Amino acid sequence: MNITETDKQMMREAIRLSEESVKNGGGPFGAVIAKDGKMIAGTSNCVTLHNDPTAHAEVSCIREACRQLGTFDLSGCKIYSSCEPCPMCLGAIYWAHLDCIYYANNRKDAADIDFDDDFIYRELEKPMADRSTPIIPMLREEALPVFQMWAEKTDKTAY
């Protein structure tokens, strides 16, 4: 895939946001979402500032872009992240249907400064029984009827 000057400009903004975040007491991560070469949203990591472990730059950026565009589907948009997205952010990116992910630092770089990204990726590769946090299925029979209700609903908004 060709990297354009606009792509570089968007990534530089994500990196600028990550630097600004560090200066303001947040984590060293920034993200930008663009559509048709125009920035829709740009945010930085606010985990420690908001006491919210989900307030990663990419997730916050997705939320803001969705507000700006009035949709939960960001097809046609690209995300630029100052670091390779962690598994949570990667999941959110896929749920949002972003077309492309650009990143600067990688998950090994993040691990080198004591972030859990690479650890979580390695955890996901393990069988559930071998993971460090127990994952225990229960009450499936009680939960399945709600899935059936959703499957039969004719006026649902699919996503």
**Catalytic center residues:** 58
Return the exposure string of 10-40: e unless at least 16 CB atoms fall within 10 Å of the residue's CB, then b: bbebbbebbeebeeeebbbbbbbbbbeeebb
Cα torsion for 61, 30, 53, 138, to the nearest 10°?
Answer: 60
- Give the C-alpha separation, 151 to 145, whole Å: 10
Which backbone phi and psi does 23 adopt, to 5 degrees? Answer: -65, -30
